[in-house]
Amino acid sequence: DGGITQSPKYLFRKEGQNVTLSCEQNLNHDAMYWYRQDPGQGLRLIYYSQIVNDFQKGDIAEGYSVSREKKESFPLTVTSAQKNPTAFYLCATRDRGTVDEQFFGPGTRLTVL
């Protein structure tokens, strides 16, 4: 998992509530990504950011929001507009200056009750 921290590991929320997932990195990587993973499916891109104060929608951005105020942090908010938020959420980083490989955090399992 390297220098990527996701907290908490398990998160529970009531239907209709917004919740924010944390992702912090000390790798000094410029790019950060959020993915959603459901059983039997690959990783699907929610949002990504290549530089501070800038971010782009991925394939499934509806019902989610992000911010990138600091290089080290890329929090993801799951809003009440997300119809099926229960999933495993993964944060990743990439060093744009060198390689294309993405490094992943340990993930957060979100369950909506």
Residues at the interface with another protein (CB under 8 A) = 1, 4, 6, 31, 33, 37, 39-45, 48, 50, 58, 88, 90, 92, 94, 96, 100-107, 109
CB of 83 to another protein, least distance (A): 20
Identify which of residues 68 and 94 has a Cβ nearer to another protein in the complex: 94
CB 32 to another protein: min, Å: 11
Torsion of CA 64, 56, 59, 19, to 10 degrees: -10
The encoded tokens of residue 78 equal 């799951």
Residue 56: enclosing H or E segment and its boundaries? strand 54-57
9 vs 83, which CB is nearer to another protein? 9
Least distance in angstroms from the C-beta of 4 to another protein: 8
- What does the alpha-carbon distance between residue 29 and residue 40 come to, in Å, rounded to a whole number? 30
Pick 60 or 80: Cβ nearer another protein: 60
Report the alpha-carbon angle 94-37-47, nearest 5: 45
Closest CA to 45 of 89, 85, 86, 75: 89
Q: Which is nearer to another protein, 16 or 84 (CB)?
A: 84
